[in-house]
Amino acid sequence: MIRIQARTEPSSIMKVASPLIAIVLTLIFGCILFSALNKNPFEALHVLLIAPLSDMYNIGEMLVKMSPLLFCAVGLSLCYRANMWNIGAEGQLLAGALGGSAVALLFIDSTSVFALPLTLIAGIISGMLWSAVPTYLKLRFNSNLILTTIMFNYIALYLLIWAVNGPLRDPDGYGFPESAMFSDSTTLPILLEGSRIHLGILFAVISAFVGWFILSKTHLGFQIRVFGADEPAAKYAGFSGKKLSWFVMLFSGALAGFAGVCEVTGPIGQLVPNVSPGYGYSAIIVAYLGRLHPLGAIVAAIFLAVLYMGGDLAQIQMGIPVAVVGMFQGVLLFFLLACDFFIRNRLTFNNQVTN
């Protein structure tokens, strides 16, 4: 009889081996899947996983895609460490994009050097405000944070759609729902000529290091870790749950807002209804793949960005249907999380019950 048994100690071997086993299982699955479709499996896997990193252009695009995922995942990692189940990064990102755009459009004819910093700050503050309301509701009325943050995602989305159809719509745009293109004074500088690698990517990486520093090197981070691991113990030690909750939620909101404002002032260059293809939700996967570690989030965000780009490339270069790409990505994530299960659990193959 096969049983699942909790390990007394997390397995240190599995910690290292888990992602490797997952990758091997996925590669085997991919070979079967693509062979069944009469596509060369090696070529398909190459396009999906290696091609996105094959030249400078693709690496630049991967970084562009990675940046909003990383911003959001760093904030979420801290939230989840502190047991604050913030599902609202998407809404906070959109709020940041909206708030930043409102300011950027004020500077449409300006060359002021303050234009860009003010725009970015507006985005960050908008993201913080958007996470502050559900936080207040939770701490004051004990409302369910998961539900309120999800609801706030929808409110942010519809507020944004209203804004691009109304006050922020391009007056010379024939009534189409998008803003005017931002001026150069409110556009993030490009770091590498000929690519789309913008300053926001650097901010995203810095944010991961800031998150890591706070979590590992400060007393505040210590409190967060204790609070997440053992709430009664943290309270006994006199740590303020309220203060920590406020901190992680505002930090997370700020980073998500930063991500949003970097998207509109960076690769998009204007406010459009589709600022985010769901970065705030994907960032939840990134945070968990990175094992709720801000630096782990860098690796995980790169990984997910590669997967998304590979999906488009597979359509372009090999005509692989988008649904099959989605299936492959889903299976990969499934194996990764399933293998992680065996870090803390193991299978036993006899009838003996051990405790």
- Among 5, 35, 54, 240, the residue binding another protein under the rule CB under 8 A is 54
Nearest-angstrom CA–CA distance, 213 and 99: 28
Find how far residue 123's CA is from the centre of its chain: 17
Query: Which CB sits closer to another protein, 130 or 279?
Result: 279
Per-residue binding string, another protein, 228-247, x by CB under 8 A, is --------------------
| Token couple for 54 | 């094959």
Q: Which amino acid is at 25?
A: L
- Among 266, 290, 294, 296, the residue binding another protein under the rule CB under 8 A is 266
Query: Which CB sits closer to another protein, 11 or 185?
Result: 11
At residue 93's C-alpha, the angle toward residues 87 and 96, to 5°, is 140
- Among 269, 280, 296, 310, the residue binding another protein under the rule CB under 8 A is 269
Contact call for residue 263 and another protein (CB under 8 A):
yes
Give, to the nearest 10 degrees, the angle between helix 279-289 and helix 322-344.
40
Question: CB 315: neighbour CB atoms within 10 A?
Answer: 15
Contact call for residue 51 and another protein (CB under 8 A):
yes
Q: Which listed range, 1-9, 49-57, 282-290, 292-300, lies at the site for another protein (CB under 8 A)?
A: 49-57
Contact call for residue 272 and another protein (CB under 8 A):
yes
- Among 275, 300, 306, 333, the residue binding another protein under the rule CB under 8 A is 275
The residues, any chain, with a CB within 8 Å of residue 198's CB and separated by 6 or more, are 64, 188, 189, 190, 191, 262, 266, 267
Query: Which CB sits closer to another protein, 29 or 222?
Result: 29
Nearest-angstrom CA–CA distance, 257 and 127: 4
Contact call for residue 196 and another protein (CB under 8 A):
yes
Nearest-angstrom CA–CA distance, 81 and 267: 31
Q: Residue 4 belongs to what H/E stretch?
A: strand 3-6
Size of the site for another protein (CB under 8 A): 54
Q: Which listed range, 228-236, 263-271, 287-295, 345-353, lies at the site for another protein (CB under 8 A)?
A: 263-271
Query: Which CB sits closer to another protein, 232 or 319?
Result: 319
Nearest-angstrom CA–CA distance, 284 and 296: 13
Q: How near is the Cβ of 63 to another protein at its closest, in Å? A: 11
The residues, any chain, with a CB within 8 Å of residue 291's CB and separated by 6 or more, are 340
Contact call for residue 13 and another protein (CB under 8 A):
yes
Contact call for residue 24 and another protein (CB under 8 A):
yes
- Among 29, 225, 312, 344, the residue binding another protein under the rule CB under 8 A is 312
- Among 319, 347, 350, 352, the residue binding another protein under the rule CB under 8 A is 319
- Among 3, 11, 29, 46, the residue binding another protein under the rule CB under 8 A is 46
Contact call for residue 313 and another protein (CB under 8 A):
yes
Indicate the burial class of 72 (C-beta count within 10 angstroms; 0-12, 13-18, 19 or more): buried
Contact call for residue 178 and another protein (CB under 8 A):
yes
Query: Which CB sits closer to another protein, 57 or 236?
Result: 57
Contact call for residue 353 and another protein (CB under 8 A):
no
Indicate the burial class of 221 (C-beta count within 10 angstroms; 0-12, 13-18, 19 or more): buried
Residue 227 DSSP SS3: helix
**Strands 3-6 and 345-348, bridge-based pairing:** antiparallel
Contacting residues toward another protein, per CB under 8 A: 13, 17, 20-21, 23-24, 27, 31, 40-43, 45-47, 49-51, 54, 57, 61, 64-65, 161, 165-166, 169, 174-178, 181, 196, 263, 266-270, 272-277, 309, 312-313, 315-317, 319, 322
